[in-house]
Amino acid sequence: MAGLKRFFDAQNNSLEVTEYRFVSRKLSRECRGYRIVHLSDLHGKLFGDSQQILAGKVEGIRPNLIVFTGDLIDSTRGGEGAGLLLMERLTRVAPVYYVSGNHEWRSGKFELLARRLAEAGVHVLRNERKIVNAGQSDIHLLGIDDPMRMKLPLEEKRIVDEDIRALVADIDVTRDFTVLLSHRPEILDIYARHGIDLIFSGHAHGGQFRFPLIGGVYAPQQGLFPRYTAGRHRRGSSELIISRGLGNSGFPQRLFNRPEIIIMELHGRQDR
């Protein structure tokens, strides 16, 4: 029994690092090796005292940029203290950009949380675009609120579509390199419709349980045996990177689906 307990504890608490590489003609040669750390879905979880395990691992990666794609807290258990503690520590490592998830809006505490995050030095993107320098390239970093803010579940795709349309209205997506932070992975078709180069999402928790040849078992908005739970997915010229997340929400146990830190390394093509 002790061995089984250690196994299940490791599934929930042993951090796994996944590395990706993205090459684009829109990026300069000097961008080579620009590192983005992607985190998501903490749900108020602690990784060691004062978040030192998770923050220490991220620090060791030496990222240029850190992005967090929602559900920092949990709508039923809270966890604002754990979430703020993590983000405060991460701002000492690299610039941190954050967008909301559905749990922030369900909690009714998002406005206060957003203010406290901003006070801690986090860039809270609320249907906003920022320009981030990477070598001699500009990254157009877009961040949208989770559509739950509107409390119109049947209109979520329309809301996301309109939010992104407004953000890219004055961008030449054929020339400018665009990165989108959005909590929801299941609407890749909308992201691709707008020609976004690279999208970071979470929300699906890796499907909670993962099995060979099957993948994830369940994800919100996708149901059983969902398509978009983890990894990289391509649609046209757009690439989606889905984090398996860090914490748990409704279901307390992960299986073959350890909490994940993602590293995305950007490179400019030599024939740019």
Tell me if 7 is assigned to some domain. no
Alpha-carbon distance of 150 to 106, in angstroms, equals 11
Tell me if 128 is assigned to some domain. yes
24 or 269, greater pLDDT: 24
What predicted TM-score, i.e. pTM, was given to this entire model? Answer: 0.97
Do 172 and 194 meet the contact criterion of CB atoms below 8 Å apart? no
Tell me if 56 is assigned to some domain. yes
Is the pLDDT at 256 greater than 70? The verdict is yes
Tell me if 76 is assigned to some domain. yes
Q: Tell me the residue range of the domain where 39 lies.
A: 14-268
Residue 270 has a pLDDT of: 63
Q: Which pLDDT tens digit goes with each residue over 30-43?
A: 898 999 999 999 99
Q: Which pLDDT tens digit goes with each residue over 171-203?
A: 999 999 999 999 999 999 999 999 999 999 999
Is the pLDDT at 142 greater than 70? The verdict is yes
Q: How many domains does the chain have?
A: 1
SS3 239: strand
Tell me if 8 is assigned to some domain. no
What one-letter code names the amino acid at 259?
Answer: P
CA distances for 107 relative to 74, 149, 223, angstroms? 7, 11, 23
Query: Three-state secondary structure along 94-110?
Result: CCEEEECCHHHHHHCCH
101 or 136, greater pLDDT: 101
Tell me if 6 is assigned to some domain. no
Q: Which pLDDT tens digit goes with each residue over 199-245?
A: 999 999 999 999 999 999 999 999 999 999 999 999 999 999 999 99
Name every residue whose Cβ is closer than 8 Å to that of residue 35 and which is 6 or more positions away in sequence.
61, 62, 63, 64, 65, 263, 264, 265, 266
Residue 223 has a pLDDT of: 96
Tell me if 26 is assigned to some domain. yes
CATH number for the domain that contains residue 217: 3.60.21.10
Tell me if 148 is assigned to some domain. yes
Residue 272 has a pLDDT of: 42
